[in-house]
Each structure stands twice: as C-alpha cells, then as structure tokens.
C-alpha cells in the first residue's frame, strides 16, 4: 500500500498573497533580510522609461559580470560598509542572480557566493552581503537595501524577500560583498490584486538536460518582453545518457548534498540560463530529475528503504532551495519536505497555480518488481482506485478549493507533466504510462469533474516533462465526444532533453483525438500572451539538438478564447 506523506505545514500567507512566515531553516538569512529595511529614496511616480529600453539595459548589465572600476566604486560607496568585507581574488558572483515568486509588494531576490580555491579561507566564515534595489535600469534611483549574513551551512546562498515595493512594476537589483559586485538583475512585482490588468506575458519552459544541448532557448527568452518565466520542472538532471552528449556533467550521479550543490552550480555556468534569470522573474515548480528519475513520494526506482531515500530527497531539496529564487526552504522539522506549491494572482486577469506532482503522490501503480518507477502497462486494475492521487489528497483539496473560489478571469495551472491522455489503443487494451497523469486517471477525472461541476470555462493546464509540444482538449472522459471539453492544455517541449520517436508519437496522435497538436522533434519553449478576451500560445522551437547558436521559429500557434473551453490551432 503506498505511503503518503502529509503536505508540509501550510503557510496561509502564500495562498492569500501575503509574505509568508519564514520557516526556521531559512530564518538566519531571511529574517535579517527583512529586518526594518531602510528606504533610501522614494520611487518617483514620474519614472516612465520605455519597457523595451528597460529590457535592453537590464540585459546588457546582466551579461557584464563585472562593472567598470568607476561603477564599482560608486556601488561600494552606496552600499554602506560593504567595502569592509572580503577582498576577493576571484568573482564570487559567477552563478549570477535571480528573482522569483513575486507578490504585489515584494519579490524574492537570490544569489549564491561561489567561493573558489583562491578565496578558500572564506569558506568557513559568516559573510555579509548587501542587496541593493533600484527603481531604474541606470541604477541612479536607489530604493532600498538589505544586509544579510550567509555561510557554508547554506552554501553561501542569499535569499532576500525584498518587501515594501510598489505593485506591478520592474525593479533592478544587485548584490555587493566586500570588493565584489554582482551582475544586475531585473525583477518584477505582481500587480495589485484588484487591478484590471489587460496582459500577462509568460515564457513556459521545462527539461534542460545540460548534456543534451545548449540553453539557447534561455537566450531568446532573456531578450523578450515578459512578465514571468514559468519553469515546470527538470531544471537539473541527475543522470546521463551517453548516446546524447554535447557537453558533460561534472561528477557522477548526485546523491549527497555537496553533489547536488555542484550539479546545480554547473547548470548555472551556462551564460544563457544566467541571463534569463537576471532578465526575468521566475515562478517555479519541480519534477523528478531535481532528485532522481521517476521518484514518487518516498520511493525511488530501486525500491530503496524510504528512510534512506528521504535523506537523499532532503539533500536534493536543500540544494534546490539554495540555487533558486523561492521563498521557502525545506521544513526544518522534516528536512525531506519542502513546500513548492503556491498560487499567484496577476491582478484580476489570472490566478496562476504551481503544483507539486512528485512529493505527495501515490507510488506508481503496477510497477515492474525489478525496476520501479513508471512503465507502460495494459490492464492494470490499480489505476481504477479512487484513493490514488498525483498531488496527494491535501494538496488536491487545497487546489480544488482555490480553483472553485477563484474570481479571476483565467485559471492557469502550472504543473509538471501532460494531463491529457497519451495512451495507445492496442489489441490487448489501452496502454497507460504509469508515471504521468494516465497513471492517476481517477485523480485526473476528479479534478476535471470539479472544473465541470463548478462551471469554470477558463481553466488552462500548463505542463512540461514529456519533451514535446502538446495542445489538447481536456474532458472528464478523455477522447469521448459525448463528454464536453472542460479545460484546455498547453504542454511545452524541452529546452534540450531529447524527445520521443515519431513512430510512437504517431500512435499517440492516432489514439487520442483530444490532442490538437503534438510534436516531439524540436526543442524550445512556449510563449503565452494572456489577455482578458483570450490566450495565444506560440511554440518557439529550434531543431534537435539545441545548439549554442540555435535559431528559434514558431512551430505552431494556438488560441484559447475566454468563456469557451478548448484550444484551437491558428493558421
């Protein structure tokens, strides 16, 4: 019988749009960062730089890791006392900067000091870092600054909840530590909860195997005018496939905290990925490869003792937190648990959920006893068990309650994988891949029945994981024309990870008339332009594998109209 972990402590502020209570594991830095911040200067209401100029300037600054000596001197004098800190031999900000989880008055700002051999003596010290926030790309209008302490226990990562900001506008930020100064990032606060916002531009992305290609999609995303990057999982990969190797992971398969830290740090050596973090505010959830392929709750594919596996999961979650602009780290009372699911309001235009499809799910049904995880099955009776859940019952209830109460125009649901069926009709019956939503059909039907029963017409599932672009209709009874379409689905292809072969994909298409578009042969990301009257989605792709100088084009454009569930191909 599958063992379910309880959802980690609910933080009411997250769902309500407030700054949450900070769990003690991250208290050291975050409490200091939010202690009576001292505003240096108010934001001018006359600030009105053209948005494209902001993008260009922010990106140019983000891509120049070291400022000129004059600019550095100016920065150090503005960050009072920072010059008293370490005199660095090598740039400690080589992993870049990032922002995430915006709220109307705040945003999470992140960096991690990467200490090299040349500065090894600093490894054992508590180090003071100043975070500066500006109202303009030229950094002439300081808004606030925070001084935080960091140390080796958190891999010298820094998370500042930059609060007291205005809603719905960009800010620029950087970190200063002794003689070193970080690249500049641009962050965006979300609009006020009641604002009649008329647009939300999102880049949806997932699955970036470092070895299988270059992160050129991030370069294009960095240069775009976006409100959010929505990353839905497989940010790192733990494993390798020697058949597809354009560049190489350092070290073996990570299992310990230091090994996960090194893997995350290696991914952030990619300049395009750093540029995309610096240019945009990200919302994130995870999938399996942030820990290990196909893990489910407390079980890995080797059927390891759950106690042993949960120690590995705790290490992976800790490293994830240390490298991401997210508000909450692992629960200090139960370090193998970390809340990633959340809801963000974008004015009155949209609610955006990020769901966790890994931490609380029931184990995969009908596993191969010699090799756990997901597999393709036919005739697995356990799939019919209504007690099985992809989200875990507590998260499922939290989500469906929020969904049915939502009064915002669009209900965008970011989660790890494809929700529409990808089963294939065979002479023995219909196949199901047990790691995806086809492995949790009762939970899927339950969610979609909730949408139908509540009469919601503007629910859009956003996913990744399957390394192909998919647009599909969602019905309570998949592929059954008598069952009305109740929601729409957009799944983005991978940034780099290799996709399914065309033969299998053709079988999937043939067996699933609900699929409007499916292609697995290209890599990329998806642009979403959300407006009150409709959503347009553009699959932006480059040929496989993604090359360093990859050029992107529109593979397909889709439209979803407000008030009418379903996705339609354009052109």
Contact residues for Fe ion (CB under 5 A)? 207, 234, 497
To the nearest whole angstrom, how small is the minimum distance from the Cβ of residue 417 to Fe ion? 9
Question: Could you count the other beta carbons within 10 Å of the beta carbon of residue 83?
Answer: 14
Tell me the Ramachandran region of residue 398: left when phi exceeds 0, alpha when psi lies from -120 to 50, beta otherwise: alpha
To the nearest whole angstrom, how small is the minimum distance from the Cβ of residue 31 to Fe ion? 36
To the nearest whole angstrom, how small is the minimum distance from the Cβ of residue 381 to Fe ion? 29
The one-character DSSP state at 125 is: S
Q: Which is nearer to Fe ion, 259 or 287 (CB)?
A: 287
Q: Which is nearer to Fe ion, 119 or 290 (CB)?
A: 290
Q: Which is nearer to Fe ion, 176 or 324 (CB)?
A: 324
Structure tokens at 303: 């059927």
Strand ranges in 383-493 using DSSP code E only, listed in sequence order = 410-414, 425-426, 429-433, 459-463, 469-475, 485-491
To the nearest whole angstrom, how small is the minimum distance from the Cβ of residue 497 to Fe ion? 5
Tell me the C-alpha distance between 438 and 27, whole Å.
Answer: 40
Q: Which is nearer to Fe ion, 132 or 238 (CB)?
A: 238
Q: Which is nearer to Fe ion, 154 or 209 (CB)?
A: 209
To the nearest whole angstrom, how small is the minimum distance from the Cβ of residue 141 to Fe ion? 41
Gap between the terminal Cα atoms of the chain: 49
User: Of how many residues is the chain composed?
Assistant: 571
- Work out the angle at residue 488's Cα, subtended by the Cα atoms of residues 375 and 439, and round it to the nearest 5 degrees: 15
Tell me the C-alpha distance between 285 and 357, whole Å.
Answer: 9
* Dihedrals phi, psi of 38, to nearest 5 degrees: -100, 105
Q: Which is nearer to Fe ion, 207 or 276 (CB)?
A: 207
Strand ranges in 140-275 using DSSP code E only, listed in sequence order = 142-150, 157-162, 170-177, 180-181, 185-188, 200-205, 228-231
To the nearest whole angstrom, how small is the minimum distance from the Cβ of residue 234 to Fe ion? 4
| Three-class SS state of 462 | strand
Q: Which is nearer to Fe ion, 172 or 231 (CB)?
A: 231
Cα 486 to its chain centre, rounded Å, is 26
Tell me the C-alpha distance between 69 and 81, whole Å.
Answer: 18
To the nearest whole angstrom, how small is the minimum distance from the Cβ of residue 211 to Fe ion? 13
To the nearest whole angstrom, how small is the minimum distance from the Cβ of residue 491 to Fe ion? 12
Cα 331 to its chain centre, rounded Å, is 19
Q: Which is nearer to Fe ion, 234 or 396 (CB)?
A: 234
Instruction: Evaluate the omega torsion of the peptide bond into residue 200 and state whether it is cis, within 30 degrees of 0.
Output: no
């Amino acid at each position: 019988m599958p063992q379910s972990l309880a959802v980690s402590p609910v933080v009411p502020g997250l769902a309500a749009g407030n700054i949450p209570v900070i769990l003690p594991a991250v208290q050291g830095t975050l409490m200091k960062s939010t202690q009576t911040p001292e505003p240096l200067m108010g934001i001018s209401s006359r600030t009105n730089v053209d948005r494209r100029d902001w993008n260009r300037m922010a990106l140019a600054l983000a891509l120049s890791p070291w400022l000129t000596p004059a600019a550095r001197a100016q920065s150090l004098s503005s960050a009072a006392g920072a010059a008293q800190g370490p005199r660095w031999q090598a740039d400690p900000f080589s992993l870049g900067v990032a922002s995430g989880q915006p709220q109307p008055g705040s945003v999470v700002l992140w960096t991690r000091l990467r200490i090299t051999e040349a500065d090894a003596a600093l490894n054992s010290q508590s180090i003071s870092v100043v975070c500066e926030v500006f109202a303009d790309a030229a950094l002439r209008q300081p808004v606030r600054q925070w001084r935080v302490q960091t140390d080796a226990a958190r891999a010298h990562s820094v998370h500042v909840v930059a609060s007291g900001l205005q809603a719905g506008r960009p800010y620029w930020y950087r970190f200063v530590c002794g003689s070193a100064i970080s690249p500049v990032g641009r962050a965006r606060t979300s609009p006020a909860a009641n604002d009649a916002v008329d647009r939300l531009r999102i880049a949806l992305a997932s699955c970036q195997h470092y070895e299988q290609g270059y992160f050129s999609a991030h370069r294009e995303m960095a240069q775009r005018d976006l409100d959010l990057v929505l990353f839905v999982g497989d940010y790192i990969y733990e494993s390798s496939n020697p058949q597809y190797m354009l560049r190489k992971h350092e070290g073996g398969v990570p299992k310990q905290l230091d090994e996960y830290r090194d893997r995350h740090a290696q991914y952030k050596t990619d300049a395009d990925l750093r540029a995309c973090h610096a240019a945009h505010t990200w919302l994130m959830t995870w999938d399996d490869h942030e820990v290990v392929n196909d893990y489910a709750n407390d079980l890995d594919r080797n059927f390891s003792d759950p106690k042993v596996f949960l120690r590995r999961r705790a290490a992976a979650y800790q490293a994830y937190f240390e490298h991401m602009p997210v508000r909450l780290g692992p629960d200090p009372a139960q370090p193998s648990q970390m809340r990633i699911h959340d809801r963000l309001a974008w004015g009155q235009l949209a609610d955006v959920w990020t769901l966790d499809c890994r931490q609380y799910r029931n184990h995969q049904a009908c596993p191969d006893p010699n090799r756990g995880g997901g597999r393709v099955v036919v005739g697995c009776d356990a799939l019919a068990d209504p007690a099985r859940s992809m989200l875990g019952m507590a998260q499922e209830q939290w989500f469906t309650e929020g969904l049915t109460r939502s009064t915002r125009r669009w209900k965008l649901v970011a989660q790890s994988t494809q929700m529409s069926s990808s089963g294939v009709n065979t002479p023995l019956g219909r196949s199901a891949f047990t790691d995806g939503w086809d492995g949790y059909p009762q939970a899927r039907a339950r969610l979609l029945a909730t949408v139908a029963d509540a009469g919601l017409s503007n629910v859009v599932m956003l996913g990744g994981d399957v390394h192909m672009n998919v647009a599909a209709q969602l019905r309570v009874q998949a592929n059954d024309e008598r069952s009305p379409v109740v929601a729409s689905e957009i799944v983005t292809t991978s940034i780099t990870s290799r996709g399914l072969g065309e033969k299998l994909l053709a079988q999937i298409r043939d067996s699933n008339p609900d699929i409007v578009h499916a292609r697995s042969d290209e890599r990329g990301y998806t642009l979403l332009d959300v407006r009150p009257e409709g959503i347009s989605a553009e699959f932006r792709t480059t040929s496989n594998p993604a090359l360093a100088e990859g050029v992107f084009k529109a593979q397909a454009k889709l439209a979803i109209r407000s008030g009418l569930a379903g996705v339609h191909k354009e052109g």
